[in-house]
Amino acid sequence: EWDPGDNGIPNINENDVYFTEQLISDINNDYNVNLSQVYAIGYSNGGMMAYGLACSLSDRIAAVGIMSGIMLPGDICDENEFTSIIHFHGIADDVLPYEGNEWYQSISDVVNFWLNHNNIPTSSLVTTELNGGDVVRDEYTGGNENTSVVLYTVHEEYDKPGGHVWFSDDIDGTNPNQILWDFLFTYSLND
């Protein structure tokens, strides 16, 4: 399990944020990484970790991609660092519910957090129905340092309600992994 910070998960005391920071440095020492284009991607609890990294290592992480993950309430982000976000979430996720529950924020709350944090106007919203309406893409743009927030709400995948999965069904002919990468790769810490 990941420790995305103060996650309320008992018996997890590792400092995975520090570990990740050291991992980035060590890999760069061995392979000469472009440190302006380091991204965090996570699924489920790994999504919590990726959101935690977006807040805790915002000076090292250029953008974040989430599949069926959630941001923990109480994550505190550096108010002078801004991060673009792409998030895919199923409307029928029964592990991390789209509408939230007593333990987890709703996806709407997570999106609103990042809109406020990045100073992205809600009036910038462009909504696009994809896959015949089975997927809805909400894109917000024009935030500080050209940040954006994109949410893919999956109503149906492979003729089943969008659940707690790493989505793989093409969205209007493009694999979600490619969509994720194309989004992330446009962002750099030097922008």
Q: Where are the domains of the chain?
A: 16-185
Q: Which two tokens stand for residue 71?
A: 């941001």
For the record, the structure tokens of 66 come out as: 């989430």
Which residue reads 């018996």 in tokens? 11
Q: What is the pLDDT of residues 64-94, one digit of tens each?
A: 999 999 998 877 888 889 999 999 999 999 9
The residue ranking higher by pLDDT, 79 or 143, is 143
Q: What is the pLDDT of residue 112?
A: 97
pLDDT, tens only, 90-133? 999 999 999 999 989 999 999 999 999 999 999 999 999 999 99
pLDDT at residue 187 is higher than 50: yes
Q: Please check whether residue 63 is in contact with residue 191, taking contact to mean a CB–CB distance below 8 angstroms.
A: no
Predicted confidence at residue 28, as pLDDT, reads 85
CATH 3.30.70 for the 16-185 domain, yes or no: no
Report the C-alpha gap between 184 and 123 in whole angstroms.
23
Residue with tokens 């109480």: 74
